[in-house]
Amino acid sequence: MKTSVVYLNSYEKVKRQMEQVAAQVNISRDAVEILKNPMRVLMVSFPVKMDDGSIRVFEGYRSQHNDAMGPTKGGIRFHPDVDMDEVKALSMLMTLKCAVAGLPYGGAKGGVICDPRNLSEGELERVSRGYIEAISRLVGPDRDIPAPDVYTNSRVMGWMMDAVSKLNQTYTPGIVTGKPPIIGGSKGRNEATGRGCVYTILEALNLLNTPVQGTRAVIHGFGNAGRTVARLLWESGVRVIAVSDSRGGIYDPNGLDIPRAEQVKDRGSLQDYPGATRITNEELLELNTDILVPAALENIITAENASRIKASLIAEAANGPTTAEADKILGKKNVTVIPDILANAGGVTVSYFEWVQNIMNFYWSEEEINSRLKQIMVDAFREINRVAQNNRVDLRSAAYMIAMKRVSEAMVARGWIKA
């Protein structure tokens, strides 16, 4: 169970990381001060009619962090633990992520405090419509473009696109990304976060001279990002020995059959996978493995468990899964951490492709999407690795250095600050 202190740490953590990196990169104090604060945060509450006829008031947020490089962009999370500090931290990460991938966007993030697992389909639709209507004055294809995140998906994006199109009385597919393809969604968007993460893992294995075949991987979280990473690694020949969801994990040292695990999960619970050992999420993180992919929520690799982590490569498919204290411990153990702002940038990259296609009203093939995605992820990885080597810093610091420099240059070019 997370506490507000943990969330405060998420926000403080990003700010602290920015301060540390600022000392190593040539940008002004003004730029750092601007980047440490979101430019706009909206808190909304909206009434929703529940199936039993009662009215329940939901609370949500939208944080727009910085729009120096373009309209703001970022997902919407439906989760009982959502709070304003978390949303602010995630919007800051989005600014950095878009800059790392070289996308013409700033960062934003949204969230609604709710547990979709306890909502009926109709209630979920009314929460989705209620939230987007409540923040509608902030969003638009040239202002702020939401996307899916934890416990939201293409269906939710479809409802939100419909709600805004009706409000504006104009068909506006570019208002959100991650929509179903039939209403302007991009091919490949569903898998983009996991696919992009796998491109960075394969690039890192190459760099570390580690063969792909037979290398062991553990995936924490089996949702949109986690199951795609698991399947694509499995298809590449990696031995995926454990996966988990919020209820716990399954483990087989000889390797799981990931398409089978997907079928089992779709029919009910991962725990029904035959022949595997059931383990807790805590045990899963500490398994003997080569690769660990956190793909659920923040702050799961902490000062408490970092020294017991055995993986030599961690790819952060989730946002903010490693605390600042844990980062230091992993650094001392020479663990390579592919930071979230690179490892999960595939989602926003294909969201960008979706937005471009919506504007052009011309749609690309899945092959084209995947090959453009690969190019961006591999180029970004190599650039970050080059900066890390040149400055003798870890990949996270290098990614922050590149991102902060780019956004700072944009703010200078727009005349907000002096160089």
C-alpha 127/C-alpha 77 separation (Å) is 12
Q: How far is the CB of 175 from ligand NAD (least distance, A)?
A: 17
**x/- track of binding to ligand NAD for residues 338-377 (CB under 6 A):** ------x--x------------------------------
Contact status: 193 vs ligand NAD (CB under 6 A): yes
Q: How far is the CB of 27 from ligand NAD (least distance, A)?
A: 26
Instruction: Report whether 63 contacts 138 (CB < 8 A).
Output: no
Residues annotated as catalytic are 109
DSSP characters for 115-154? -GGGS-HHHHHHHHHHHHHHTTTT-BTTTEEEEE-TT--H
Q: How far is the CB of 213 from ligand NAD (least distance, A)?
A: 26
Cβ-proximal residue to ligand NAD, closest one: 223
C-alpha 305/C-alpha 333 separation (Å) is 13
Q: How far is the CB of 155 from ligand NAD (least distance, A)?
A: 12
- Helix/strand/coil for 283: helix
Task: Give the chain's length.
Answer: 419
Strands (E), 216-301: 216-220, 239-245, 248-251, 277-279, 291-294
Q: What phi and psi values does residue 374 have, to the nearest 5 degrees?
A: -60, -45
**x/- track of binding to ligand NAD for residues 293-322 (CB under 6 A):** --xxx-------------------xxx---
Which of the stretches 42-50, 216-224, 359-367, 404-412 binds ligand NAD when contact is defined by CB under 6 A?
216-224
Q: Binder to ligand NAD among 60, 111, 130, 148 (CB under 6 A)? A: 148
Contact status: 287 vs ligand NAD (CB under 6 A): no
Contact status: 100 vs ligand NAD (CB under 6 A): no
Joined tokens for residue 168: 């504006």
**x/- track of binding to ligand NAD for residues 32-71 (CB under 6 A):** ----------------------------------------
C-alpha 198/C-alpha 381 separation (Å) is 12
Judged by CB under 6 A, the chain residues 151 through 170 that form the site for ligand NAD are 151
Smallest Cα–Cα separation from 314: which of 343, 340, 338? 338
Using CB under 6 A, list all residues that contact ligand NAD.
148-151, 193, 220-226, 244-246, 281, 295-297, 317-319, 344, 347
